[in-house]
Amino acid sequence: MTLPVTFLRLLRAQNEMVGQKRKKSAIAAEVDDELKEKRRVQWKLNQRNSRQKRTNLASTLTKENSDAAEAIEALERRLEALAGSAVVAREPMSVFRGNAAVRIIDEYYQVFQNGFATCPVQQQFQYDFVRKIMTTSTSFMNAQGAESVVNQWRLMTTSHHSLRIRPLSCEYMKEEDGVVVRAVS
């Protein structure tokens, strides 16, 4: 049986179209593979850049922290040097160590050496201590009474990142009804 020529032509044309479709799908697959490879390479670059940025930031922050710690140490050494060499017309705390009033002031400085405490139990201890040693007429930074002392300590502690108070000298004065000790820190 012989097939008509037109049918053969149609068959050939159909085979050619199938071949072209295969070629097109192969080309499309290659293009997809190339795009996937480009995306994968770009993702790797982005990941590497991101890691590098994080590493650089961490090293920068570490260096800044160590620089700040060194600056703090230098300032503390300078403070110690200034405190040791200051010429003041007052007597150092050690001169009055035997006096009860000065011992109380010394203890006051120990209780508040780092400012107002963050722990409620320590806060209560500080508050009770101040109420025991100070009268209602106690003057502290232009405020009166024990509560004003505690409020001033709260303000100073919240206003500063870190706080360290030490007595440098004191003035001891006797009055008719008691003793006044003025400490300089």
In the structure encoding, which two tokens stand for residue 21, read together?
A: 């479709």
Q: How many CB atoms lie within 10 A of CB 102?
A: 21
Give the whole-angstrom CA distance, residue 163 versus residue 157: 7
Q: Which domain holds residue 176?
A: 89-113+165-185
Residue 121 maps to a domain: yes
Would you say residue 3 lies in a domain? no
* Cα(128)–Cα(124) distance, integer angstroms: 6
All residue ranges of the chain with pLDDT < 70 are 1-5, 7-8, 18, 21, 83-99, 172-181, 185
Q: How many separate domains does the chain show? A: 3
Beta bridge partners of 174: 179
Same domain, 185 and 145: no
d(CA 170, CA 153) in angstroms, rounded, equals 20
pLDDT score for 25: 73
Q: Are 91 and 182 in contact (CB under 8 A)?
A: no
Note whether residue 8 is domain-resident.
no
User: According to the model, what pLDDT value does residue 89 have?
Assistant: 39
Q: 1 lies in a domain? A: no
Distance CA 32, CA 183 (A): 82
User: What was the pLDDT predicted at 63?
Assistant: 96
Strand partners, 173: 180
- Regarding whether 145 and 123 lie in a shared domain, the answer is yes
Q: Give residue for tokens 């650089």.
A: 56
Q: Is residue 18 part of a domain?
A: no
Q: In terms of domains, do 48 and 129 share one?
A: no
> Which pLDDT score is estimated for 105?
78
Can you give the pLDDT at residue 62? 95
* Residue 31 included in any domain: no
**Total Cβ atoms within 10 A of residue 10:** 12
Q: For 1-148, list the strands marked E by DSSP.
A: 139-140, 143-144
What is the reported pLDDT for 54? 96
My answer on whether 144 and 78 are in the same domain is no
Same structural domain, 69 and 97: no
* Amino acid present at 114: N
d(CA 82, CA 148): 30
Residue after which a domain boundary falls, among 87, 105, 125: 87
